[in-house]
Chain A
Amino acid sequence: MSTASKGLTAWLTTEEPNSARHATLQNIWRVWSRFASNPLGVAGLVIILLLVFVAVFVPWLAPYSPFEQNLRETLMAPNGQHLLGTDELGRDILSRILWGSRITLSIVAIVSVIVAPIGLIVGCLAGYYGGWLDTILMRVTELFLSFPSLILALAFVAALGPNLNNAIIAIALTQWPPIARLARAESLSLRNRDHISAVRLMGASSLHIVIAHIAPLCIPSVIVRITLNMAGIILTAAGLGFLGLGAQPPSPEWGAMVSTGRRFMLDSWWVGTMPGLSILFVSLAFNLVGDALRDALDPRQE
């Protein structure tokens, strides 16, 4: 086993890769080993993996239903039966937090999936083509950037009507502009590189160059940016939920749970604190991972 793993490590770190695939794997390995040398980043990753695990297996993990009320057991302090206590309608807070991980994770995932391609395409097009296209796209981007993201999201949700889907759309609308800017900056620096010129001399169309040669090179920085944004996405979603504009009752959205818990802060601290801590840990984890990822993906680190 140890010789095998040694062999694998040697294969992954050898100076001269045999094939393109070999080189890619070596690259991934280098990123990973840099990432793994950052203990905080690893801690964050563990939390996120735990969150994903919980979100996937929550039906088997949660001790109670997140919706089942028991009006005779309301506002119970944490105890053996209800590890994190019960809320004002007698629902088990632990179960609600566990189920809430699905909502949080799906918001993060959906927003990222919407935002990354939009930002990447807008940014790369603007950066590569320049000229009037750049002017138009960047002014639109700046228009979105000129509002604080929570305010903009609030306005969108208020206009669209409060529910989870609209909250996701609103958050996505506020999150793509920074990515577009980043991608533009990257493609600006890339478009006059030698290998791009080479591709152009070989007769590739501009669109082909953007899609096949510029966009892939922008991806690492976009990934870092998105990961760092995820904490912001979680906080915005929780903020909207707190204001009653996100997920609607009785869905166990963490922000909405904090909002209800606020009413009982003086007597029953656990109702608001537990979901609040969940938000804290998860957004912290995304920040740590984003940081570590930035270090790991930065080629200048070597």
Chain B
Amino acid sequence: MPHFRACLTGAAVLIAAVTINVAEARTPQDQLVIGMNMVNLTTLDPHNANSYESYHVIANLYDTLLRSDPNTPGKVVPGLAKSWTVLPDGTLEFTLDERATFQSGRKITAADVAYSFQRAVKLGLLARAYYANWGYDAANVDQKFRAKDDRTFVMEVATPVAPSLKLNALTRVYGAVLDREVIAKHEKDGDMGRGWLASNAAGSGPFTLNRWNPNDIVVLSRFDAYWGGEPKMKRVLVRHLPESQTERLQLEKGDLDVGFQLVSADIDGLAKNPNIVIDRLVGSGFYYLIMSTKDPEFAKPEVRRALRYCINYKDINDVVMKNYGTSATTFIPADIPGYIPDIGNVYDPAKCKQGLADAGYGEGFSKQLLSLNSTPYADMATAIQQNLAVAGIKVDILTGNGDQTYGPMRDRKFQLGVGRTASSAQTDADGWLRTHVYNPDNKDDANLSNLQAWRASFELPDVNKLMDEAQAITDNEAKRVELYKQALKLFEESAPPIIPISQRVDPYAKSARLKNYVGDIGWMTRWDRVEKQD
């Protein structure tokens, strides 16, 4: 009998729990709840940020010298610097906003800015490559980045680089300004806070880091005295939700305000919900197919040229890449200066077959294609596999995790691969072209694995020369763009082993309750102006 009663109570509790669950959940009015897959959130060090996820969190902990206007991509607006001037020799002078203070309460000085940029170069973290590209290295940063006075920071020229490139880049995460006094307290063996900053923050942003449990949760608390005005949200909770469908259900129920990294099917499902708004951040990476020119077949330009005709770009973009990317035919998209219409991808199965036959491969050949085992890579690989099968090229797909897939590509030991170049949006042709066409040193031990052309063992000295020349032009925008155009054209005419398939898009879903949530294409979305309405 007691058993029976216990059962009954249990059942009652269960029913109550279920009923409560059914009731409409709602996130608190003054808290923003964001769901994302945190696997790639591996550090909070602004100079080592490497992912969409880490950019978003860091953007709210730190301020950058300049900001990009989320409503007009490409437009640079004041951040910590209220104004800036470009001197005739290309030197940049920034005047800091006198209101700006760190979360520690200390005024931000030009010395802090200089320290931050010097750290970016000296530590050799990811940010270094960024600055190395402009000629800065550990030996010269102490002279090149300096405080002229308390309020004026000077960035001298190391190698000639168009100032607009630098200004744009400083709006991103690597342009964050760090509190050197707080860092000094946690420094170990002169590591400039490298160990401590990976999981802590010392910035001036609108939110402070309250808690971060990797692969679980990030809690940000409002920094009441934020110099840019008190944030509306008292707290931001970022939750680790690796399953897209969980995110979707929670968004529909109102347990989440924003959801990142949803898969295509769930984006389509949520788009039908009147309480959810789908927004798309256009990224500057490409989903691409890459061939290694070390391979005897792909070493032949005729084969590469023919192969480009084999792929049904339209169908792949319409179906497989829906919500992940938009159609791309070449490496500079239509809205960027330097775009050339009518070059690049064309689907023509007849030309594909003819081209392969002319190259002496009428019977085709077999190749291995590397792909991540996740969406949309595996589907893209399968679609390409079928396209190539029609042309007689037998493709075996090998799926794996990041290391298994990108590892052989970085080591230049592969035949075919699909992947994605990951970077935040670029508004300049340089950023679009460089990672794909530039390869200054084609030796195996040069280890330029972040350059796709190097991965493909593909070097075009003339393209390199044009790229170097273009970057160095500081005073003539039209001429600079013209040089990028020439570089692109030359690259496309040389039967490149890298075929762009889609331009990266990062869709996210947000609750219709949110006001002022404006996604930034540079992944520097700020959460301090976000409000909720009912």
Knowing A263-B244, A264-B265 are in contact, say whether A71-B320 is a contact too (CB < 8 A). yes
Return the 7 tightest CB-CB contacts between A and B, nearest first.
A244-B373, A71-B315, A71-B319, A250-B382, A264-B265, A249-B382, A249-B397
> What are 10 pairs between A and B in contact, CB < 8 Å?
A71-B315, A75-B265, A88-B265, A248-B396, A248-B399, A249-B397, A250-B385, A250-B386, A263-B375, A264-B265
Does A78 sit within 8 A of B, measured CB to CB?
Answer: no
Does A268 sit within 8 A of B, measured CB to CB?
Answer: yes
Write the chain A residue with the least CB distance to B243.
A262
**B398 contacts A162, C-beta separation under 8 Å:** yes
**B383 contacts A267, C-beta separation under 8 Å:** no
**A244 contacts B382, C-beta separation under 8 Å:** no
User: Hey, which chain A residues are within 8 Å of B320, CB to CB?
Assistant: 71, 88-89
**A248 contacts B245, C-beta separation under 8 Å:** no
User: Hey, which chain A residues are within 8 Å of B381, CB to CB?
Assistant: 249
Name B's A-contacting residues (CB within 8 A).
244-245, 248-249, 263, 265-266, 268-269, 312, 315-316, 318-320, 373, 375, 378-379, 381-383, 385-386, 389, 396-400
The smallest C-beta distance from B422 to any residue of chain A, in angstroms, reads 21
Knowing A162-B399, A248-B398 are in contact, say whether A267-B319 is a contact too (CB < 8 A). no
**A266 contacts B383, C-beta separation under 8 Å:** no
User: Hey, which chain B residues are within 8 Å of A263, CB to CB?
Assistant: 244-245, 263, 265, 375
Chain A residues 61 to 104 lying within 8 A of chain B, measured CB to CB, are 67-69, 71-72, 74-75, 88-90
**B319 contacts A74, C-beta separation under 8 Å:** yes
Does A265 sit within 8 A of B, measured CB to CB?
Answer: yes
Q: Mark A157-187, 1 if CB is under 8 A from B, else 0.
A: 0000111000000000000000000000000
State in angstroms the CA–CA spacing of A88 and B385 once bound together: 15
**A69 contacts B245, C-beta separation under 8 Å:** no
The smallest C-beta distance from A106 to any residue of chain B, in angstroms, reads 18
The smallest C-beta distance from B373 to any residue of chain A, in angstroms, reads 4
**B379 contacts A88, C-beta separation under 8 Å:** yes
Write the chain A residue with the least CB distance to B322.
A74
Knowing A71-B319, A244-B373, A263-B244 are in contact, say whether A249-B386 is a contact too (CB < 8 A). no
The smallest C-beta distance from A177 to any residue of chain B, in angstroms, reads 29
**A266 contacts B399, C-beta separation under 8 Å:** no
Write the chain B residue with the least CB distance to A244.
B373
Known: A68-B386, A162-B399. 5 other contacts (CB 8 A): A71-B316, A75-B265, A248-B397, A263-B263, A267-B265
Write the chain B residue with the least CB distance to A262.
B245
User: Hey, which chain B residues are within 8 Å of A267, CB to CB?
Assistant: 265, 268-269
Write the chain A residue with the least CB distance to B319.
A71
User: Hey, which chain B residues are within 8 Å of A89, CB to CB?
Assistant: 319-320, 379, 382-383
How many residues of A are counted as interface, with CB atoms below 8 angstroms from the partner's CB atoms? 23
**B248 contacts A266, C-beta separation under 8 Å:** yes
User: Which listed residue (B248, B249, B386, B398) contacts A67, Cβ 8 A?
Assistant: B386
State in angstroms the CA–CA spacing of A89 and B400 once bound together: 20
State in angstroms the CA–CA spacing of A137 and B315 once bound together: 57
User: Hey, which chain A residues are within 8 Å of B312, CB to CB?
Assistant: 71
User: Which listed residue (A69, A75, A248, A264) contacts B386, Cβ 8 A?
Assistant: A69
**A266 contacts B386, C-beta separation under 8 Å:** no
Interface of B is mostly: helix
The smallest C-beta distance from A169 to any residue of chain B, in angstroms, reads 17
State in angstroms the CA–CA spacing of A266 and B267 once bound together: 12
Knowing A248-B396, A248-B398 are in contact, say whether A69-B383 is a contact too (CB < 8 A). yes
User: Hey, which chain A residues are within 8 Å of B268, CB to CB?
Assistant: 267
**B400 contacts A71, C-beta separation under 8 Å:** no
The smallest C-beta distance from B260 to any residue of chain A, in angstroms, reads 16
The smallest C-beta distance from A77 to any residue of chain B, in angstroms, reads 14
User: Hey, which chain A residues are within 8 Å of B249, CB to CB?
Assistant: 266
Q: Mark A256-275, 1 if CB is under 8 A from B, else 0.
A: 00000001111110000000
Write the chain A residue with the least CB distance to B389.
A67
State in angstroms the CA–CA spacing of A77 and B320 once bound together: 18
User: Hey, which chain B residues are within 8 Å of A244, CB to CB?
Assistant: 373, 378, 399-400
**A71 contacts B383, C-beta separation under 8 Å:** yes
User: Hey, which chain B residues are within 8 Å of A161, CB to CB?
Assistant: 398
State in angstroms the CA–CA spacing of A127 and B435 once bound together: 65
State in angstroms the CA–CA spacing of A290 and B244 once bound together: 40
State in angstroms the CA–CA spacing of A102 and B477 once bound together: 62
The smallest C-beta distance from A280 to any residue of chain B, in angstroms, reads 22
State in angstroms the CA–CA spacing of A249 and B395 once bound together: 11
Chain A residues 168 to 214 lying within 8 A of chain B, measured CB to CB, are none
User: Which listed residue (B269, B379, B385, B389) contacts A266, Cβ 8 A?
Assistant: B269
**B397 contacts A265, C-beta separation under 8 Å:** no
Chain A residues 8 to 61 lying within 8 A of chain B, measured CB to CB, are none
User: Hey, which chain A residues are within 8 Å of B399, CB to CB?
Assistant: 162, 244, 248-249
Write the chain B residue with the least CB distance to A266.
B245
The smallest C-beta distance from A59 to any residue of chain B, in angstroms, reads 18
User: Hey, which chain B residues are within 8 Å of A265, CB to CB?
Assistant: 245
The smallest C-beta distance from B202 to any residue of chain A, in angstroms, reads 40
Write the chain A residue with the least CB distance to B386.
A69
User: Hey, which chain A residues are within 8 Å of B316, CB to CB?
Assistant: 71
The smallest C-beta distance from A266 to any residue of chain B, in angstroms, reads 6
User: Which listed residue (A72, A90, A250) contacts B397, Cβ 8 A?
Assistant: A250
State in angstroms the CA–CA spacing of A163 and B400 once bound together: 11
State in angstroms the CA–CA spacing of A249 and B399 once bound together: 8
State in angstroms the CA–CA spacing of A266 and B270 once bound together: 11
User: Hey, which chain B residues are within 8 Å of A74, CB to CB?
Assistant: 319
State in angstroms the CA–CA spacing of A264 and B375 once bound together: 12
Q: Which has the most chain B C-beta neighbours within 10 Å: A163, A244, A248, A267?
A: A248
The smallest C-beta distance from A65 to any residue of chain B, in angstroms, reads 10
The smallest C-beta distance from A260 to any residue of chain B, in angstroms, reads 8
User: Hey, which chain B residues are within 8 Å of A248, CB to CB?
Assistant: 396-399
State in angstroms the CA–CA spacing of A88 and B379 once bound together: 8
State in angstroms the CA–CA spacing of A264 and B389 once bound together: 27
The smallest C-beta distance from A76 to any residue of chain B, in angstroms, reads 12
State in angstroms the CA–CA spacing of A162 and B397 once bound together: 10
Q: Which has the most chain A C-beta neighbours within 10 Å: B248, B263, B320?
A: B320
State in angstroms the CA–CA spacing of A75 and B268 once bound together: 13
User: Hey, which chain B residues are within 8 Å of A90, CB to CB?
Assistant: 319
User: Hey, which chain B residues are within 8 Å of A75, CB to CB?
Assistant: 265
Write the chain B residue with the least CB distance to A248.
B397
Q: Mark A202-238, 1 if CB is under 8 A from B, else 0.
A: 0000000000000000000000000000000000000
State in angstroms the CA–CA spacing of A38 and B395 once bound together: 48
The smallest C-beta distance from A3 to any residue of chain B, in angstroms, reads 60
State in angstroms the CA–CA spacing of A266 and B399 once bound together: 25
User: Hey, which chain A residues are within 8 Å of B400, CB to CB?
Assistant: 162, 244
The smallest C-beta distance from B391 to any residue of chain A, in angstroms, reads 15
State in angstroms the CA–CA spacing of A266 and B315 once bound together: 24
**A249 contacts B383, C-beta separation under 8 Å:** no
Write the chain A residue with the least CB distance to B372.
A244
User: Hey, which chain A residues are within 8 Å of B245, CB to CB?
Assistant: 263, 265-266
The smallest C-beta distance from B411 to any residue of chain A, in angstroms, reads 16
User: Hey, which chain B residues are within 8 Å of A162, CB to CB?
Assistant: 398-400
Write the chain A residue with the least CB distance to B317.
A71
The smallest C-beta distance from B61 to any residue of chain A, in angstroms, reads 33
The smallest C-beta distance from A109 to any residue of chain B, in angstroms, reads 23
State in angstroms the CA–CA spacing of A161 and B398 once bound together: 9
Knowing A88-B379, A89-B382, A249-B382 are in contact, say whether A268-B265 is a contact too (CB < 8 A). yes
State in angstroms the CA–CA spacing of A53 and B373 once bound together: 33
The smallest C-beta distance from B110 to any residue of chain A, in angstroms, reads 51
State in angstroms the CA–CA spacing of A244 and B372 once bound together: 10
State in angstroms the CA–CA spacing of A248 and B373 once bound together: 9
State in angstroms the CA–CA spacing of A206 and B410 once bound together: 58
